[in-house]
Every structure is written in structure tokens, then in C-alpha cells.
Amino acid sequence: MAAGEQPGTGTSPPACRLFLLVLSVIITDQVLAASAQGMSIGINYGQIADNLPSPSRVSRLLRSMQISKVKLYDADQNVLSAFLDTGVEFVVGIGNENVSAMVDPAAAQAWVQQHVRPYLPSARITCITVGNEVFKGNDTALKANLLPAMQSVYQAIVALGLQGQVNVTTAHSLDIMGNSYPPSAGTFRPDVVPYIQPLLSFLSMARSPFLINCYPYFAYKADPGSVPLEYVLFQPNAGVADANTGLNYDNMLYAQIDSVYAAMQALGHTDIDVKISETGWPSRGDPDEAGATPEYAGIYISNLLRRIEMKQGTPLRPSSPIDVYVFALFNENLKPGPASERNYGLFYPDGKPVYDVGLRGYLPPMDESKSARKVVSLLALVAIASITLILS
């Protein structure tokens, strides 16, 4: 150190700078893993597209945004492997096309052994959804097989001692409701009650949640002249009073949630939590899809995120914070149906936000390959050796 030079004011030797750079690269994953514990928001990671970034890049993106919960529609091994030891919770799914096969206990056991067991505890798989919106279709065999399939998967979980750690449930479309207004008068459709009644008994026994996909956008799209935009976008409004309970609802999503609670209570169950497995707003749609704009999508999602972070509950259950999985992470260019179906993403496939809701994320420009990791390791060794020589 030169005479009069104060500690820490000199120029660092090149080897020191190299060492610090390499050290920052090495600890990046640990920092991201820690930050993943931050937000209580969940997000749906759909992959019906041919232009999405690799799972390893998506892992970095989500962790940079402090997303703590991810829902898949399958049990993609590449995705789960990319999130090992990150602390991110996962909901994995069994597609409708495989539900009937799961009725066979041996098949359910094999599925759990292949798609769940190998990743625990490094991947935090906390829930398995057996099917998605099964009662929305007309496949009576699928409807009849849903509960037996769920029971078989649950028994496979029990056999591995994972009950209480991994829930087994299924996700429903809101059109299973026969009535949802006022919320206190919520009931299930008569044709689904014979299926829902025993399913609720199973969820109660297994202590699993009731998952519902809720889209206030659909109500607005169907009748934009009658549905107040402020009511569906969580914007200030007088609200709608439930004459039976006296509760006031200032947004449609909460009214939909409480109508499901009422429908379950009508069938004798008050012991099952309702979680929102999907909700979102499209940023673009066909000419006849009213309200599908980036502006409205941004308002809906940002206001929803604000309420999630406030740990707000519904009027019926104010002390139970809403549990929500936003749909979806990316725009998915291969989804069938109207244009809106391909435009629910928070991000474009290149990692750019579709609209600004305050989520700041980083999508790496390329994968860190094994060769790149070897280079980093080699640089680390060189830097350490250089430091040792300087200090000796």
C-alpha cells in the first residue's frame, strides 16, 4: 500500500476483479433461490407454443421476479429439473387424456413414481391436479372416471408417505355453477351434483383444496353493456350488495369465489378451501371480443396483485387471504380458439412484458450449458490461484 493511501481506496489487481466477477456468477442461483420466497402470487406456466424459451431460462425469469408458486398442466421433467433446489412450489397435472388410465391403481402408482417421487424434495411439488375442467365437456366416461382416478393417485401418494405434503385435486371451470348471484345463493349445476357431491367428500377427507378457474373477463365479454367495467377490473365502485348476507362486493372475482363456498355449503361442506387455479385478462382478441386490450389486462392484473400482496380475503372469509394462480406466464401461439386464447400472457416469448404491472424480470439471452459452467469453474480456479500467488 502506498504511503498515505487509505485502505480500500486503491485499484484492485486484475485477478481480484476476476475473482469477484466469477464469485458473483457462482452465487447468482443462490440469490435467486432466496428471492423466490418473496411473492405469494402463483402463475400458470402453459406451453402450447413453438417459440417459448427453455425451462432453464424460464426458471431464471420467474425467480428474478420472486415468483414463489408455479402451476403446470403436466409434469414436464425438463421444467421440474430446471427448478431443483430453488424453493419454488409446483402444482403438476395429469392431462384429461390420461385421467381414465389413472383409475388403475398400478398406473397411478407408476405415474407418481415416475413424475413426482424422483424430484422430491429438491422440487417442491405440493399438489397434483387430476384433469382440468372435466365437467365442462360432454365426455361422460371421463366424468365418471375422474373421482376414481383421483382416489388412485391419492392412494399412491399415501403409499409413499407423502400425504399432507402433496395434495390431490382437480381444477374446475366456473360453468359448473348453476347459479352464482347473489353469492350466498350459489349452487352447482344439477347435472354435476352427482359427481361433485362425492368429490367434495374426497377433498374433505384428503384435506385438499377445491380449485376453480375464474375469469370475470368472460362475463364482461358476454355483456359489456350491462357488466360495469370497474366491477370486473377491481376499480373503485359502489359495489353490489348481497341482500341475504348484507355483504358488499366491490369486484366480481370475490363474488365468484364466495358463490363457490355457498354451493359447497349447500352440499354440506364448510371445511374445504377454495383456490383460484386460473384467472387473467387477454391483451388482445378478435373484433367481437370486447375489452381485450393491454390497458384493461394491465389494470386487472396489477389490481389483483395489489390485493394478493395485501393478503386480502373475500367478504365471506375476510381472514383467509385469496390464493390465486394468474393465467398465464407467456402468450401461447398454438392455442386454438379465438385470438384472446393466445394472448393471456404477462410476457412475450422473448421475455418482454406485454404490459407493465410492476413485475420486473430477467430472461437470460441463452442457456448456461455444461460447457459454459465448466468455463466458469475453470475461471474460478484461475482466479483463486492468482489471488493465492498475490497474497503469498
Active-site residues, by number, are: 133, 278
Best CA proximity match to 97, nearest among 50, 139, 45: 139
Ordered alpha helix ranges (H), 36-76: 55-64
CA angle, residues 274, 276, 279, in degrees to nearest 5: 155
- The enclosing H or E element of 297 equals helix 294-309
CB 203 within 8 A of CB 209: yes
What DSSP line would sit under 101-153, residue for residue? GGGSHHHHHHHHHHHTGGGTTTSEEEEEEEEESGGGS--HHHHHHHHHHHHHH
Distance of CA 28 to the CA centre of its chain: 23
Compute CA distances 303 → 232, 315, 357, whole Å.
10, 17, 9
CB 10 within 8 A of CB 2: yes
Compute CA distances 275 → 164, 212, 387, whole Å.
17, 6, 54
H helix count then E strand count, the chain = 12, 12
